[in-house]
């Protein structure tokens, strides 16, 4: 074996460099710049404009050589973990313009073991405070002894194509992105909680500004680490590719006082990383990817004969599918 | 400003700030704020990318939220360890794992999976109640009053002893380590040890011993009982979660440096009968060494099995453990290859995925014996496999391992017939019948196959003999199938169906078990029966069968050529000798000088080790000798042992436990009674020795803990070396002060110091990096990898990471050590799991269906012999008398673990245990609830014979074992289940007073109940839990309790369905009436579907409800 990490093991280029459309981290930024420009020009936003705005195709000349392009350099191997397959699917999707992607999720309830790892991983990743839960797992007992079983249902945001939460927002603080993710702008959200009410999946919760250690002792006795606890709680999270400090943001409290919800870890997607609930799923029950990509695992599984969506009759068109 | 291309990445917020200057509008809150505050464009700075996928922010280490000890990838942000995921180099977190050769930079974007308690480990690390400084008791034991003292003072005091507590009115002289570190001469220790062996063997009398050592009798605990060993044994180190983790450095201290035999792990409150039964069921024989125990664990090859019975365990909670198990088992089930059955009185998460068999708690042995009987009666066993009596026969029969099923046993002695017994050869050969002819053989003969007769009951050379198989058959035949079914609580049809299914898949079936079926006084036999069932179908080593797992590299360097043979690198080590405090692994009672007929004063445990629940009661009883110093490390027997509350009064007794020190991360339920508490590092800040992995992983792997987070504890100086307070630091400082061997200058040999923890632990990494044989060495890290290694540790203080010191510890091995640490351990390629029809790391040796060494042992309390095959038993006290319960104790109590919890150290995990289920409940079937007139939410107290439902923490302070009733269907009627993890009275739940300042506890940590105090006390010994006489395991099961309603309670925050339902506790709180909520939801759905104009909707909402009530700080502009 050669020395590990020697130069010849450098990052492999994307499969087709000419197809690389550019750093996907820019899409929302492009959009917002456009929005800001429209504001400056006095252009009125039509209602709903935010969620249907068509962005220009990304014109970056950057590609394979751009360090911002998430590279995925793990070579394929036989029977590889679906996490690796999905991450490769994700890298492929990121080489397309944002409006050609359609992020979706398939949750195989047969593989879900209610380990709650997704729930907690999401809390840790997004530094969610008490009461804010993006992805609970609902554990239900069915039947009467001895004919009884348990059913486990992870419940992220459904990222509906027809999102009731968007239509009810009075300040346009939430919208559907071109890739289908329903985003919340914490700077715009006024905390009215209409969206929380409107969501038929209870996918949104409210940030009341609590912290985990609020009820622990305070003070600075040298013998205990009371002060050390706040250290990680005060670290910013990176939702929507920004740094959000609960204590010290330009608006001091955001995202405190906001509605909050799952965003498929959009801040990870731009770097070619899968959502946290996906990577930490012990049963590999959560499959994620671009539903527009016929080669993607998620697309294949979403078309399974045992696939359903929750509350299909409401017409919300969720992009989260369940395999029963 | 560049918007496209490879310009520095700007965050949206920063761009908004820039855009705001031209926008002139205030629709967006951020813009409005910035304009109002006159934000200037210079605030736009370079972007702040997501930092948690950058290789320099990642460190790979190993979890310790439970004993699965999964491999971790930790993520550092601004010097803070903020996130934990699975290590993709490791098959515990990714399957197949990534190629070990892959550069860490390329691996950085890949996250492996880890469970919820692993995820919340950040909160174990940054627990506000973590200790930073040494605490010395400033009031009576347990008073909660402490003073901080310097580490130097603390070490001086515990080393030297003296009147340490006169300032709080205690005039006694406290013994120090110098008072137990009495025998210091290694040559004398070795000589005495040899002579004590001779004494035990009957070759030397006590009188002769005393004459020989007349000048040295003062080093002995009792010169009339030299076999008790030296006074050094009066130091006892009792470890909770200590192995596999830090057993090597603490044993180096206890055994070699201080010469005490009394080092203990906690295994008998975990799963010891499982381990002991496996060790004897895989014991190997040699003419020179007799029987040597084998492996302590085998598991089914889940990905390739067709049928697996999870017996009192599962793949989604506890066990070994959910991260590697769930990935494999879920896939196998859904792919249609695997069917699972779950034997458990509770509908566990695993049981929800398969065939639930709600056995009666404690009925597992009956069920297993019933299955054995049915399988033998119906000829459903693998006779061809079982008939192979030796290696050659196994090889001929396309098998890898073989059993002793055909070997002839003399039932009168319990021993195997040797060839010499029947005139067929020497005593190194065993005997089987081959077509009726007695045939002598060597079990390991690779050339001459012996295929024996299986079912033998005959007389040879005047000796009545039976085959091992026959012994099992007769034992199972002691009772009818109907009897076994009735005792197990499983109907006969199901017993037969389970046995039928188990034997319908050839070798592609297996039984996995761990703790559930064996926490009983007959736990060893239950474990042995379950192992026997596996052997009966001949599944060992086969693909889809039963496997010992991939094993580990030898991190202690005992393999030829390895750079640091650490067990030998201890010049001046003392030879420890003497009977252990628990009489475990100390030979038979009968050969000791304490023998005075039956019963012994307390049980002896020649076949086991780590008899955790017995340590403190034995010290208190002074049998076999009194102790002087108890060091409790990261353990809490008062909380975690069954009936452990009885140990509180013992721990508070300063006469019988004169010096009590603890190393702990917080002040816990047992360390709260200590004289001194030394802060320890959490698992995320420190080293461990090498750690293997359970047989869930079929490939070889060795993992390490290494400092990932900067230390929370105070940094002190030992002999000029700065280091954070920790157990390792205490061991080094104490050994140096006592001038004990094994630590300090040249402690590992000339030129090899042990002044810092990494001087020891990095050598283990070097051994693993070098490999088990020449050519097995990992490549040197490249310059880039070394640079990454350095950069990734930039947040660690030099007291922890000093590259020059680390390099010096391993010298020329440095670069390959970097290779291993950059990956968190060493992991064989997942592709090497199988070789043809067998697992690649096969057992390939003898399997003991009949266990001779146990069969030839005697119960020190009853004088009766143990059995070589499993026998059906019921609950028994130490003196052998049956334990029964009055009729009003009408519910079988059992416990279980939720995946988010460990036994005693996850209550500070705010985002997992505390958030997911803040409180545990008393789970009851609706049938029992109706019968007892209990409603959901009622508060009930658990009472058992002799236990009134409360216990004393301190004089006048009691704690109730009481909780709210939760009614469910997924539990066997007649049972009551209480989970682990709750009912804390310390670990942050209790107020402390330190240096006169009161520090409030957090009430949420005290919620729920711990069921252990209600578990049966041995009615004969009266001071310890019921205990398995063979494995020393404590009986968590078997107790029958009654529930006494003490309050109406309520159902607030209780799960709405089943055992757990997150939806009900979600903070979905809206300030609207239910009618308005329903209307708003309906209207917004219409708008979402395009049936209603959203602007109209919003206007309509405000017309109907008025302007929305906004939280503080939010305004609508």
Confidence of residue A49 (pLDDT cuts 50, 70, 90): very low
**Record: contact A243-B13, CB cut-off 8 A:** yes
pLDDT computed for residue A233 by the predictor: 87
- Helices B1074-1088 and B1094-1105 cross at an angle (nearest 10°) of 170
pLDDT of residue A1: 40
Of the candidates A40, A47, A169, the beta carbon closest to that of B24 is on: A40
Tell me what pLDDT residue B966 has.
95
Rounded Cα distance between A244 and A236, Å, is 5
| Chain B interface includes A69 (CB < 8 A) | no
Alpha-helical runs (H) found in B679-726 = none
Distance between A290 CA and the closest CA of chain B, angstroms: 18
What tens digit of pLDDT does each residue of B344-388 get?
999 999 999 999 999 999 999 999 999 999 999 999 999 999 999
The answer to whether the Cβ–Cβ distance between A164 and B1087 falls below 8 Å is yes
Model confidence pLDDT, tens digit, residues A221-262: 789 999 877 788 889 999 999 998 876 544 457 789 999 999
Q: Which of A96, A134, A91 is nearest to A116 (CA)?
A: A134
Of A114, A276, A314, which is closest to B349 when you measure between CB atoms? A114
How many Cα atoms are found within 13 Å in the side-chain-facing hemisphere of A172?
Answer: 16
Mean model confidence pLDDT for chain B:
94
Residue B4 has pLDDT above 80, yes or no: no
* Topology (CATH level 3) of domain A22-35+58-212+234-323: Alpha-Beta Plaits (3.30.70)
State what percent of residues in chain A have pLDDT above 90: 63
Q: What is the pLDDT of residue B31?
A: 29
Chain A residue with Cα closest to B131? A224
- Put simply, the answer to whether B1067 touches A164 (Cβ < 8 Å) is no
Band of pLDDT at residue B166, cut at 50, 70 and 90: very high
Q: Do B779 and A2 touch (CB under 8 A)?
A: yes
| Best CA proximity match to B440, nearest among B449, B431, B452, B448 | B431
pLDDT given for residue B49 in this prediction: 84
Euclidean distance between CA atoms B238 and B636, whole angstroms? 10
Mean of pLDDT values over B624-652: 98
Listed in sequence order, the DSSP H helices in B739-813 are 757-770, 783-791, 803-810
The tens digit of pLDDT for each residue in B915-949 reads 988 999 999 999 999 999 999 999 999 999 999 99
pLDDT band at A220 (very low <50, low <70, confident <90, very high): confident
Contact assignment for A5 to B104 by CB distance below 8 Å: yes
Q: How confident is the model at residue B1060 (pLDDT cuts 50, 70, 90)?
A: low
Can you give the pLDDT at residue A75? Answer: 85
Q: Are strands B235-239 and B629-633 parallel, antiparallel or unpaired?
A: parallel
- Is the pLDDT confidence value at A37 over 80? no
Best residue in B31, B993, B1063 for a mutation probing chain A (most A CBs within 10 Å)? B1063
pLDDT for residue A2:
40
- The C-alpha torsion from B401 through B405 and B408 to B409, rounded to 10°, is 110
Partner residues linked to B145 by β-bridges:
B993
Domain limits, chain B: 299-548+842-855, 891-1015+1039-1065, 1071-1117
pLDDT for res A69: 52
pLDDT value of position B395: 98
The mean pLDDT value for B708-732 works out to: 98
Judge contact between B849 and B555, C-beta under 8 A: no
Query: Average pLDDT in the B681-689 region?
Result: 98
As a whole number, mean pLDDT of residues B219-225 equals 98
Supply the pTM of this predicted model: 0.93
pLDDT score recorded for residue B972: 98
Task: Determine whether the interchain pair B910/A130 forms a contact, defined as Cβ–Cβ distance below 8 Å.
Answer: yes
Instruction: Give the chain A residue whose CA is nearest to the CA of B315.
Output: A113
A70 band by pLDDT with thresholds 50, 70 and 90: low
B463: confidence class by pLDDT, cuts 50, 70, 90: very high
Q: Cα separation of B893 and B901, whole Å?
A: 19
Tokens, residue A198: 């409107």
CB contact under 8 A, B127 and A225: yes
Q: Name the pLDDT band for A16 (thresholds 50, 70, 90).
A: very low
- Give the H or E element holding residue B925: strand B922-925
Flag whether pLDDT at B2 surpasses 50: no
Q: Distance (Å) from the C-alpha of residue B90 to the closest C-alpha of chain A? A: 12
Which one of B82, B1087, B1113 has the shortest CB-CB distance to A232?
B82
In A292-311, the residues whose Cβ lies within 8 Å of chain B are none
Residue B286's pLDDT band (boundaries 50, 70, 90)?
very high
Cross-chain residue pair B16–A32, CB shorter than 8 Å: yes
Q: What is the pLDDT of residue A247?
A: 66
End-to-end CA distance of chain A: 46
Other C-beta atoms within 10 Å of B416: how many?
Answer: 22
Asked if B879 and B1020 touch (Cβ cutoff 8 Å), the reply is: yes
Q: Residue B44 pLDDT more than 50?
A: no
pLDDT tens for each residue of B558-613: 999 999 999 999 999 999 999 999 999 999 999 999 999 999 999 999 999 999 99
Residues forming beta bridges with residue B997, ordered by sequence position:
B994
CA atoms of A125 and A244, how far apart (whole Å): 12
Chain A CB contacts of B1104 under 8 Å are: none
Alpha helices by DSSP H, B111-263: 116-119, 121-125, 151-160, 177-180, 186-200, 206-212, 247-251
Mean pLDDT of chain A: 81
Q: What is the pLDDT of residue B1080?
A: 93
Q: What is the pLDDT of residue A135?
A: 94
In this complex, the residue of B3, B27, B911 whose CB is nearest that of residue A212 is: B911
Between CA B675 and CA B673 the distance in angstroms is: 7
- With contacts defined as CB-CB under 8 Å, which chain B residues touch A184? none
Distance CA B506, CA B894 (A): 34
Specify the 3-state DSSP secondary structure of B178. Answer: helix
Specify the pLDDT at position B1117.
63
Q: Compute the distance between CA of residue B825 and CA of residue B823 in angstroms, rounded to an integer.
A: 6
Does residue B269 register a pLDDT over 90?
yes
From A235, A281, A314, residue closest to B77, measured CB to CB: A235
Percent of chain B with pLDDT over 70: 94
> Is domain B891-1015+1039-1065 annotated with CATH 2.40.40.20?
yes
Percent of chain B residues topping a pLDDT of 90: 92
Summarised one tens digit per residue, pLDDT across range B126-136 is 999 999 999 99
Q: By CA distance, what is B98's nearest residue in A?
A: A74
CB B713 within 8 A of CB B725: yes
Q: Which pLDDT tens digit goes with each residue over B56-101?
A: 999 999 999 999 999 999 999 999 999 999 999 999 999 999 999 9
The answer to whether A81 faces chain B, any CB pair under 8 Å, is yes
Answer whether residue B25 shows pLDDT above 90: no
Write the ipTM. Answer: 0.94
Name chain B contacts of A158, Cβ cutoff 8 Å: none
* Beta-carbon separation of B83 and A113 below 8 A: no
- The two counts, helices (H) then strands (E), for chain B are 33, 42
What residues of chain B lie within 8 A of the CB of A119, using their CB? 116, 916, 1062
Q: Does A77 touch chain B (CB under 8 A)?
A: yes
> What pLDDT sits at residue A45?
31
Class of domain B299-548+842-855: alpha beta
State yes or no: pLDDT of B3 exceeds 50. no
CA-CA distances (angstroms) from residue A93 to A19, A290, B490, B885? 11, 6, 53, 66
Distance (Å, whole) CA B989 – CA B485: 45
Model confidence pLDDT, tens digit, residues B964-1001: 999 999 999 999 999 999 999 999 999 999 999 999 99
What pLDDT, on a 0 to 100 scale, did the predictor assign at position A222?
Answer: 83
What pLDDT, on a 0 to 100 scale, did the predictor assign at position B1057? 60
Residue A147 backbone dihedrals phi, psi, to 5 degrees: -95, 80
Residue B414 has what pLDDT? 97
Chain B contact present for A33, CB below 8 A: yes
């Amino acid at each position: 074996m050669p020395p590990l990490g020697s130069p010849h093991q450098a990052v492999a280029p994307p499969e087709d460099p000419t197809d690389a459309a550019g750093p996907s981290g820019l899409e929302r930024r492009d959009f917002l710049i456009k929005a800001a420009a429209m504001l400056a020009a006095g252009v009125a936003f039509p209602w709903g404009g935010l969620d249907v705005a068509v962005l220009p195709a990304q014109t970056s000349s950057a590609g394979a050589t751009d360090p911002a392009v998430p590279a995925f350099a793990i070579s394929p191997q036989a029977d590889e973990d679906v996490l690796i397959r999905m991450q490769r699917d994700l890298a492929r999707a990121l080489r397309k313009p944002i409006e050609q992607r359609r992020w979706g999720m398939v949750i195989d309830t047969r593989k879900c073991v209610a380990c709650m790892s997704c729930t907690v991983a999401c809390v840790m990743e997004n530094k969610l405070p008490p009461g804010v839960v993006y992805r609970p797992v609902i554990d239900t007992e069915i039947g009467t002894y001895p004919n009884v079983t348990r059913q486990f249902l992870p419940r992220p945001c459904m990222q509906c194509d027809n999102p009731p939460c968007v239509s009810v927002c009075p300040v346009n603080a939430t919208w559907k992105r071109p890739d289908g993710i329903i985003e919340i702008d914490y700077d715009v959200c006024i905390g009215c909680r209409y969206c929380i009410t409107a969501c038929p999946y209870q996918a949104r919760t409210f940030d009341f500004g609590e912290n985990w250690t609020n009820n622990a002792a305070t003070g600075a006795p040298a013998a205990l680490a009371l002060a050390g606890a706040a250290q990680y709680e005060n670290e910013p999270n990176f939702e929507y590719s920004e740094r959000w400090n609960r204590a010290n943001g330009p608006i001091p409290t955001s995202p405190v006082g906001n509605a909050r919800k799952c965003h498929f870890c959009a801040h990870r997607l731009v770097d070619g990383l899968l959502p946290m609930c996906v990577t930490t799923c012990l049963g590999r029950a959560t499959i994620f990817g671009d539903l527009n990509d016929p080669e993607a695992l998620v697309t294949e599984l979403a078309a399974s004969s045992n696939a359903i969506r929750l509350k299909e009759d409401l017409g919300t068109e969720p992009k989260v599918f369940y395999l029963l | 400003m560049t918007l496209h291309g490879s310009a520095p990445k700007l965050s949206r917020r920063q761009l908004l700030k820039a855009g705001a200057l031209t926008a002139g509008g205030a629709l967006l809150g951020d813009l409005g704020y910035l304009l109002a505050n006159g934000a200037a464009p210079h605030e736009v700075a370079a972007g702040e990318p997501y930092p948690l996928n950058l290789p320099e922010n990642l460190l790979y280490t190993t979890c310790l939220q439970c004993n699965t000890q999964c491999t971790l990838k930790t993520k550092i942000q601004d010097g803070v360890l903020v996130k934990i995921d699975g290590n993709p180099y490791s098959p515990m977190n990714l399957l197949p794992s990534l190629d070990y050769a892959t550069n860490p930079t390329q691996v950085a974007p890949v996250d492996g999976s880890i469970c919820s308690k692993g995820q919340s480990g950040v909160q174990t690390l940054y627990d506000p109640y973590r200790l930073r400084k040494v605490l010395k008791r400033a009031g009576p034991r347990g008073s909660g009053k402490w003073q901080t003292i310097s580490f130097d003072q603390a070490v001086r005091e515990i080393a030297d002893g003296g009147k340490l507590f006169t300032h709080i009115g205690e005039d006694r002289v406290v013994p120090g380590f110098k008072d137990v570190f009495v025998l210091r001469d290694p040559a004398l220790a070795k000589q005495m040890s040899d002579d004590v062996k001779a004494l035990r063997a009957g070759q030397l009398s006590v009188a002769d011993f005393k004459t020989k050592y007349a000048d040295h009798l003062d080093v002995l605990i009792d010169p009339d009982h030299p076999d008790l060993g030296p006074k050094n044994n009066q130091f006892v180190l009792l470890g909770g979660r200590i192995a596999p983790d830090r057993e090597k450095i603490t044993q180096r201290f206890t055994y070699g440096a201080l010469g005490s035999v009394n080092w203990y792990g906690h295994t008998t409150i975990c799963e010891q009968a499982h381990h002991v039964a496996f060790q004897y069921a895989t014991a190997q024989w040699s003419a020179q060494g007799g029987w040597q125990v084998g492996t302590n664990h085998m598991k089914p090859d889940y990905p390739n099995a067709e049928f697996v019975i999870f017996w009192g365990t599962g793949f989604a909670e506890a066990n070994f453990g959910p991260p590697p198990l769930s990935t494999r088992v879920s896939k196998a089930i859904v792919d249609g290859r695997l069917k699972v059955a779950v034997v458990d009185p509770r509908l566990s998460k695993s049981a929800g995925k398969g065939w639930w068999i709600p056995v009666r708690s404690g009925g597992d042995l009956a069920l297993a014996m019933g299955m054995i009987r049915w399988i033998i009666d119906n000829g459903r066993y693998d006779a061809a496999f079982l008939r192979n009596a030796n290696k050659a026969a196994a090889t001929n029969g396309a098998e890898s391992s073989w059993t002793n099923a055909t070997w002839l046993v003399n039932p009168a002695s319990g021993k195997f017939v040797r060839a010499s017994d029947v005139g067929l050869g020497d005593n190194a050969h065993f005997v089987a019948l081959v077509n009726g002819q007695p045939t002598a053989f060597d079990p390991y003969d690779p050339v001459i196959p012996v295929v024996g007769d299986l079912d033998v009951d005959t007389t040879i050379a005047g000796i009545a003999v039976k085959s091992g198989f026959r012994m099992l058959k007769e034992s199972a035949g002691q009772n009818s199938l109907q009897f076994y079914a009735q005792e197990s609580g499983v109907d006969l049809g199901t017993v037969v169906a389970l046995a039928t299914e188990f034997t319908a898949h050839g070798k592609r079936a297996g039984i996995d078990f761990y703790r559930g079926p064996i926490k009983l006084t007959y736990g060893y036999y239950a474990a042995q029966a379950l192992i026997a069932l596996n052997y009966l179908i001949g599944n060992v080593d086969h693909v889809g069968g039963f496997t010992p797992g991939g094993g580990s590299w030898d991190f202690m360097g005992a393999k030829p050529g390895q750079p640091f043979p650490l067990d030998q690198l201890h010049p001046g080590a003392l030879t420890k000798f003497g009977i252990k405090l628990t009489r475990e692994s100390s030979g038979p009672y009968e050969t000791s000088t304490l023998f005075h007929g039956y019963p012994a004063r307390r049980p002896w445990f020649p076949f086991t080790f780590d008899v955790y629940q017995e340590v403190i009661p034995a010290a208190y009883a002074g049998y076999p000798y009194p102790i002087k110093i108890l060091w409790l490390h990261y353990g809490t027997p008062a909380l975690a042992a069954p009936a452990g509350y009885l140990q509180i009064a013992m721990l508070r007794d300063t006469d019988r436990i004169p010096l009590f020190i603890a190393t702990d991360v917080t002040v816990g339920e047992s360390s709260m009674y200590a004289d001194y508490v030394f802060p320890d590092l959490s698992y995320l800040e420190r080293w461990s020795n090498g750690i293997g992995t359970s047989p869930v992983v079929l490939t070889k792997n060795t993992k390490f803990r290494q400092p990932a987070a900067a230390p929370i504890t105070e940094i002190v100086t030992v002999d000029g070396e700065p280091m954070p307070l920790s157990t390792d630091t205490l061991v080094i400082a104490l050994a140096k002060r006592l001038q004990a061997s094994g630590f300090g200058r040249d402690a590992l040999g000339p030129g090899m110091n042990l002044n810092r923890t990494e001087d020891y632990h990095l050598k283990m990494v070097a051994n693993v990096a070098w490999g088990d044989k020449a050519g097995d060495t990992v490549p040197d890290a490249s310059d880039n990898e070394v640079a990454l290694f350095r950069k990734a540790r930039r947040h660690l203080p030099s007291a922890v990471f000093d590259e020059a010191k680390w390099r010096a510890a391993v010298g020329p091995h440095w670069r390959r050590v970097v290779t291993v640490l950059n990956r968190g351990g060493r992991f064989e390629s997942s592709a090497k799991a199988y070789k043809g029809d067998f697992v690649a790391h096969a057992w390939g040796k003898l399997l003991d269906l009949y266990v001779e060494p146990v069969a030839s042992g005697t119960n020190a309390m009853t004088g009766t012999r143990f059995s070589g095959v499993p026998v059906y038993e019921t609950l028994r006290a130490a003196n052998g008398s049956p334990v029964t319960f009055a009729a009003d104790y009408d519910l079988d109590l059992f416990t279980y673990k939720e995946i988010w919890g460990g036994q005693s150290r996850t209550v500070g995990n705010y985002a997992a245990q505390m958030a997911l289920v803040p409180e545990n409940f008393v789970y009851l079937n609706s049938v029992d609830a109706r019968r007892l007139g209990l409603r959901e939410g009622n508060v009930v107290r658990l009472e058992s014979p002799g236990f009134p439902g409360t216990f004393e923490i301190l004089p006048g302070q009691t704690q109730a074992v009481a909780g709210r009733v939760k009614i469910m269907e997924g539990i066997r009627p007649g049972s009551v289940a209480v989970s682990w993890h709750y009912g804390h009275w310390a670990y942050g739940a209790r107020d402390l007073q330190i240096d006169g300042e009161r520090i409030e506890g957090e009430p949420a940590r005290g919620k729920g109940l711990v069921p252990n105090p209600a578990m049966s006390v041995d009615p004969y010994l009266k001071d310890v839990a019921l205990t398995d006489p063979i494995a020393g395991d404590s009986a968590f099961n078997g107790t029958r309790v009654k529930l006494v309603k003490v309050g109406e309670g309520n159902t607030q925050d209780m799960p709405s369905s089943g055992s757990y339902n997150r939806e009900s506790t979600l903070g979905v709180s809206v300030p609207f009436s239910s009618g308005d909520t329903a209307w708003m939801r309906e209207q917004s759905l219409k708008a979402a579907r395009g049936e209603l104009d959203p602007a109209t909707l919003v206007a309509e909402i405000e017309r109907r409800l008025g302007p929305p009530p906004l939280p503080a700080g939010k305004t609508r502009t």
